[in-house]
Chains A and B, each alone.
Chain A
Amino acid sequence: MSQPKTKKETEDLLELYRQMLLIRRFEEASAKAYSMGKIGGFCHLYIGQEAVGVGAISALEQKDYIVSTYRDHGHALARGLEPKALMAELYGKKTGIVSGNGGSMHFFDKKKNFMGGHGIVGGHISLAAGIAYASKYREDGAVTLCFFGEGAANIGSFHEGMNLAAIWKLPLVMICENNHYAMGTPEYRALSVKDVSVRATAYDIARDHIEGDEVRKVRDHVKVAVERARRGEGPTLMEISTYRFRGHSMSDPAKYRTKEELEKYKQGDPLIKAEKDLLSAGWAQEELTKMDETILKTVEESVDFAEKSEEPPLGWLYKHVYAENV
């Protein structure tokens, strides 16, 4: 799979690589801003997991929905949310994607069917089932993609959501991004099964399990599940194995894992893999460097935009507690 064979395949990989690189650079800039005290709260970075979000989301159509976790920066960028608005949100500015009401864990963009950024582990799984339920109710042909971590696979909302999605055959694709640690707890101490997708058998739904280091492979597998959902054949539970190179959040030095382990996984860095594939398909290194420079500029502009943006006016404190009745 890894080597693109035709020009079209190469260009396709190039676009996916560009999206992954944008996430990587955005996250590096976020880490820097966080260290400088510009970003508050929790900040969970996606570095190392880019191929999962980019691959999976590229399998969707515009009408489809995405429900994300507290580690939502990568998913949001992969869906094409504006980096400036996202960085401004991290800064808590008026110009942020949710006007400074959400911060890192609560990105939402209705126009792009990006249904949040949810901070309670696994709580969003039944919401995703509800969005998929609405698609079935309205027969709008949309599919809902829900990301969650392996830690969320142990909470009640996961099991209830799975069972409801299964009995109602909802157009839902559940992607467990197994990065092997639920905060500091390694999977072997928390999961009764090594592969979360095995739990699909308990609900008699389709399952899939892949490594998440090759972006095009992720997309191809997710596409199968998305098409199955669109045909009305019900949900799929996928596990995509991945690894975060940083701690659980910016405040986590990740002392629960060895340097050797981290180094081993860094060999499988999805960006390096994609880069190698592009180079061996004949793409020039300097083209890639130029792309990186453009992306770095985009990210710098987003930081600059966030820096210069105003804080939300104090008069907005009570805005949006209640929706207006029109």
Chain B
Amino acid sequence: MAVLTYREALNRAMTEEMEKDPNIFLMGEEVGHYEGAYKVSQGMLAKFGEKRVIDTPISENGFAGVGIGAAMVGLRPIIEFMTWNFSLVAIDQIINSAAKMNYMSAGQFPIPIVFRGAGGAGGRLAAQHSQSFESWYAHIPGLKVLAPYTPSDAYGLLKTSIRDNNPTIFIESEVLYGSKGEVPEGEFLIPMGKSDIKREGTQLTIVSWSRALMYVLPAAEKLAKEGISVEVIDLRSIRPLDEEGILASVRKTNKVLIVEEGWNVAGFGAQVAYLIQKEAFDYLDSPIERITQEDVPMPYAANLEKSSLPSEEKIIKKVREMIK
């Protein structure tokens, strides 16, 4: 099994899909000659040429719209946002055009497009460049939202997204690009709406996804040494959501903590909590808890940034309280 970085796994997924289907193209700022602001598209211009790896000016609203228009007539664009923070100027196109086109046209114009790029918090980038938007996009019917944690999931889910006939929001965590993991040889796809148990346990379920798992998994490891057995579910797919996977784990452990990098108010974890209380209320031995980013724009100061995010310590402390 090959060990790849997260960015290499994404690159491999796009390259393989583009080799197969000439309707796929990659478009975005610096994706071509610069080979990607985060080097996800390294080598792709040389391989596919300027026709299929297209540098754009700084105009997210414009090139998001161009991608959607091209998808209306059957092309399959991959639109890279340098970071999801810049998607906000294109959000009208994503919501009002991409998400709704198939519905408004009664199925005449599906939009097979992937919007992808770096998301999440980190790197001391401060308030405007450091935030998680999974909850925003998950709110919109017509969109699918994915946020993989491992290189293997990134590969398998990106391939599925490219082949999906719907607009997909593919949020890569900026701090994970260099992380390494085993990616099986040969082609494989990971279906949407399927969570993955990243660690089995019996006493409490932690539901999480993307970069927050960087804190959750080591915390679970440490808790195991104290004799507390935590099950960790990586959602991977935010919409569609693996409701059964979550519920099965809750029925087994009877306690749930949701850990997310995004904000608390109207955050996606609230939706997961609603699902659990509605469908598995009788199985709960304690209230559902959440650890999220603090309810503030991201501060720059290293200590404040760290304190605003979920952490191993916060998770360990919360789990100990819940297990008592």
- Of residues 132 through 158 on chain B, the ones whose CB sits less than 8 Å from some CB of chain A are 141-142, 144
Q: Which chain B residue shows the least CB distance to A137?
A: B75
A128 and B70 alpha carbons, distance in the complex (Å): 9
Q: A98-B104, A321-B102, A323-B166 are in contact. Are A131 and B59 (CB under 8 A)?
A: no
In the complex, how many residue pairs between chain A and chain B have their CB atoms under 8 Å apart? 147
Instruction: Return chain B residues, CB-CB under 8 Å to A102.
Output: 104-106
A164 within 8 A of B: yes
Cα(A320)–Cα(B101), bound, Å: 9
Tell me the chain A residues, 80-117 only, with Cβ under 8 Å from chain B: 98-99, 101-102, 106, 108-110, 115-117
> At the interface, yes or no: B303 with Cβ under 8 Å from chain A?
no
Given contacts A115-B72, A128-B69, is CB(A137)–CB(B63) below 8 Å?
no
Once the chains bind, are A101 and B66 in contact (CB under 8 Å)?
no
Q: Does B199 contact A (CB under 8 A)?
A: no
Expressed in whole angstroms, the Cα–Cα distance for A109 and B72 within the complex equals 12
On whether the beta carbons of B142 and A325 are closer than 8 Å, the reply is no
Q: Are A137 and B25 touching (Cβ within 8 A)? A: yes
- Contacting A322 at CB < 8 Å: which of B92, B93, B142? B142
Closest chain A residue to B77, Cβ basis: A130
CA distance A96 to B113 in the complex (A): 27
Task: Provide the residues of chain B in CB contact with A284, threshold 8 Å.
Answer: none
Min CB distance A215 to B, Å, is 28
Contact in complex: B62, A164 (CB < 8 Å): yes
A137–B106 contact, CB under 8 A?
no
- Tell me the complex Cα distance, A133–B65, Å: 11
For B165, give the chain A residue with the smallest CB separation.
A323
Q: A65, B73: Cβ atoms under 8 Å?
A: yes
> Is B69 within 8 A of A98, CB to CB?
no
Residue-wise interface mask of A (115-137) relative to B, using a CB-CB cutoff of 8 A (1 in contact, 0 not): 11111100111111111111101
A160 and B59 in contact, given A116-B105, A129-B65, A320-B102 (Cβ under 8 angstroms): yes
Contact residues on B (Cβ < 8 Å of other chain), bracket: 35 or more
Residues of chain B with a CB closer than 8 A to A268's CB: none
Q: Judge if B163 is at the interface, Cβ distance under 8 Å.
A: yes
Q: Are A320 and B165 in contact (CB under 8 A)?
A: no
CB-based contact B96/A101 at 8 Å: no
A323 near B102 (CB under 8 angstroms)?
yes
Most B Cβ at <10 Å: residue of A99, A117, A131:
A131
Residue B74, interface by CB 8 Å: yes
Whose C-beta in chain A lies nearest to the C-beta of B163?
Answer: A325
Q: How far is the CA of A321 from the CA of B107 in the complex (A)?
A: 8
Chain A residue nearest in CB terms to B57:
A163
Q: Which residues of B lie under 8 Å from residue A324 when comparing CB positions?
A: 165
A232 close to chain B: CB less than 8 A? no
Q: Report if A319 contacts B (CB, 8 A).
A: yes
Please, what's the 1-or-0 string for B276-304, where 1 marks a CB less than 8 Å from any CB in chain A?
00000000000000000000000000000
Inside 8 A of A137's CB, which chain B residues have their CB? Answer: 25, 51, 70, 75
- What A residues does B96 contact at CB under 8 A? 119-120, 123
Which residues between 283 and 326 of chain A lie within 8 Å of chain B, taking CB atoms?
319-326
Tell whether A134 pairs with B104 under 8 Å between CB atoms, given A123-B92, A156-B61, A163-B57: no
* A161 proximal to B (CB < 8 A): yes
Contacts of A167 in B (CB 8 A): 57
Closest to B54 in A: A168
A133-B56 Cα distance, complex, nearest whole Å: 13
Asked if B97 lies at the interface with its beta carbon under 8 angstroms from chain A, I say: yes
Answer whether residue A154 sits at the interface, using C-beta atoms and an 8 A cutoff. no
Residues of A within 8 A of B107 (CB): 319-320, 323
Q: Which of A67, A124, A157 contacts B62 (CB 8 A)?
A: A157
Contacts of A116 in B (CB 8 A): 101, 104-105, 109
**B104 A130 Cβ-Cβ under 8 A:** no
Neighbouring A residues of B112 by C-beta, 8 Å:
323
The reply to whether A126 and B73 form a contact with Cβ atoms under 8 Å apart is no
Question: With A116-B105, A127-B69 as given contacts, are A164 and B57 in contact (CB-CB < 8 Å)?
Answer: yes
Residues of A within 8 A of B104 (CB): 98, 101-102, 106, 108, 116-117
Q: Are the CB atoms of B108 and A160 closer together than 8 Å?
A: no
Cα–Cα distance between A127 and B320 once the two chains are bound (Å) = 53
Shortest distance in angstroms between B113's beta carbon and chain A's nearest beta carbon? Answer: 10
Asked if A160 and B165 sit within 8 Å, CB to CB, the answer is no
B67: interface (CB < 8 Å): yes
B17 within 8 A of A: no
Chain A residues with CB under 8 A of B61? 126, 156-157, 160
Q: Does B103 contact A (CB under 8 A)?
A: yes
Q: From residue B148, how far is it (CB to closest CB) to chain A in Å?
A: 19
Check A133–B103 contact: CB distance below 8 A: no
B89 sits at the interface (CB 8 A): yes
Least Cβ distance of B266 to chain A in Å? Answer: 21
Give every chain B residue within 8 A of A98 (Cβ-Cβ): 104-106, 108
Residue on A nearest B107 in the bound complex, by CB: A320
How long is the Cα–Cα vector from A163 to B89 in the complex, in angstroms?
16
Q: B57: which A residues are within 8 A, CB to CB?
A: 163-164, 167
A107 to chain B, nearest CB (A): 9
Bound CA span A116–B103, Å: 12
Name 24 interchain pairs, CB-CB below 8 A, sorted by A. Answer: A98-B106, A102-B105, A108-B108, A110-B105, A115-B72, A115-B109, A118-B97, A120-B92, A126-B65, A127-B93, A133-B66, A133-B69, A134-B74, A137-B51, A157-B65, A160-B61, A161-B66, A163-B62, A164-B56, A164-B63, A320-B105, A321-B102, A321-B103, A321-B141
Given contacts A126-B93, A157-B62, 19 further A-B contacts (CB under 8 A): A67-B69, A101-B105, A102-B106, A106-B104, A108-B109, A115-B69, A116-B101, A118-B97, A123-B93, A123-B96, A123-B97, A127-B93, A128-B69, A130-B67, A130-B72, A164-B57, A321-B141, A322-B102, A325-B165
Chain A contacts to B: CB under 8 angstroms: 65, 67, 98-99, 101-102, 106, 108-110, 115-120, 123-135, 137-138, 156-157, 160-161, 163-164, 167, 319-326
